[in-house]
Copies of this chain bind each other. A is one copy, B any other.
Amino acid sequence: MHMHTEETALLGTASMDLHILDHRLRVTSICKNGLVNFTHPLIKLIFLRNRTRCKFFSLTETPENYTVVLDEEGFKELQPSEHLKVESSIWLPLNVVSNGNSSSSSQAVGVTKIAKSVIAPLAQQHVSVFMLSTYQTDFILVREKDLSVVIQTLEEEFNIYKEVGGESVPMHCQEVSNGLQKNGKEAIQPTVHPVLIPQNQFCVMSLDPDTLPSIATTLIDVLFYSNCPKEDAQSSPNQDLDCIKFFSFSLIDGYISLVMDTEAQRQFPADLLFTSSSGELWRMVRIGGQPLGFGEATFF
């Protein structure tokens, strides 16, 4: 998750690359009281890397449910259940990087820029996106069936690459379009949603995967037992109605990312988790009092 005030200036002289990453993802949700039935596979996916081939895993607790985004290897671990809802599509993660012409280093691009240059044009084409923000980057998930429209829509502004077995292969519209036309360009009716800004502040952190075992019991406690009563404590101030329950863990291509509020952060050892150098805290903007569907919890 990147948010730099100088990004517009920086990007003025840079070209932008859009990478279609080499993961095929499922978007699922587990209802709050159904999580106990998925403790076994989720702990395996989070902590036992040598027991699974899953390379893309994200678990997010929202006020409504647990959203789990994971590749097909990980998805195999989740048994069908009345507590598990599975979005029927295959989703592909996209990644936007700014590629300075005078330098070989690429740089992640912030969500403001992504909203303007990716999400808005795709919305014009009625293409839904699912944003997944981590410490390392922001993933834009699109449905596989929308890929040709995505490429058609974005290829004017982006150099588009498909990651295949670690290689970036340049990609062009005609390779995927198969005669598909862009969706019709009717303007979208603007919908007015109430905007809620919860009181709690969030931090976006990472840690060395080799130190993950050191925080295992704390992470398990927060993820799987935070809705159980604690025998030795009074109720947490986080049950305040003005606060929002949001906690996210992701393990993607070997990189760990954690998003939690400052209340949850206090339970973790301070020396293992690292945040960006500025140590900035975030506020969440919830759009709409009712869930808008998967991924409605967006950071700005």
Say if the beta carbon of A82 comes within 8 Å of chain B. no
Say if the beta carbon of A195 comes within 8 Å of chain B. no
Quick one: copies of this chain in the complex?
A: 2
Q: Do A43 and B39 touch (CB < 8 A)?
A: yes
Say if the beta carbon of A270 comes within 8 Å of chain B. no
Distance in angstroms between the alpha carbons of A59 and B233 in the assembled complex: 27
Tell me whether A51 and B225 are in contact in the complex, defined as CB-CB below 8 angstroms, given that A39-B39, A43-B43, A43-B220 are known contacts.
yes
Distance in angstroms between the alpha carbons of A52 and B228 in the assembled complex: 10
Interface string of A101-141 (1 = CB under 8 A from B): 00000000000000000000000000000000000000000
A186 CB, min distance to chain B CBs, angstroms: 48
Q: Do A50 and B233 touch (CB < 8 A)?
A: yes
Tell me whether A48 and B225 are in contact in the complex, defined as CB-CB below 8 angstroms, given that A39-B40, A40-B39, A43-B43 are known contacts.
yes
Q: Do B52 and A231 touch (CB < 8 A)?
A: yes
Chain B residues with CB under 8 A of A218: 213
A-to-B contact residues, CB < 8 Å: 35-37, 39-41, 43-44, 47-48, 50-53, 212-214, 216-218, 220-221, 224-225, 228-233
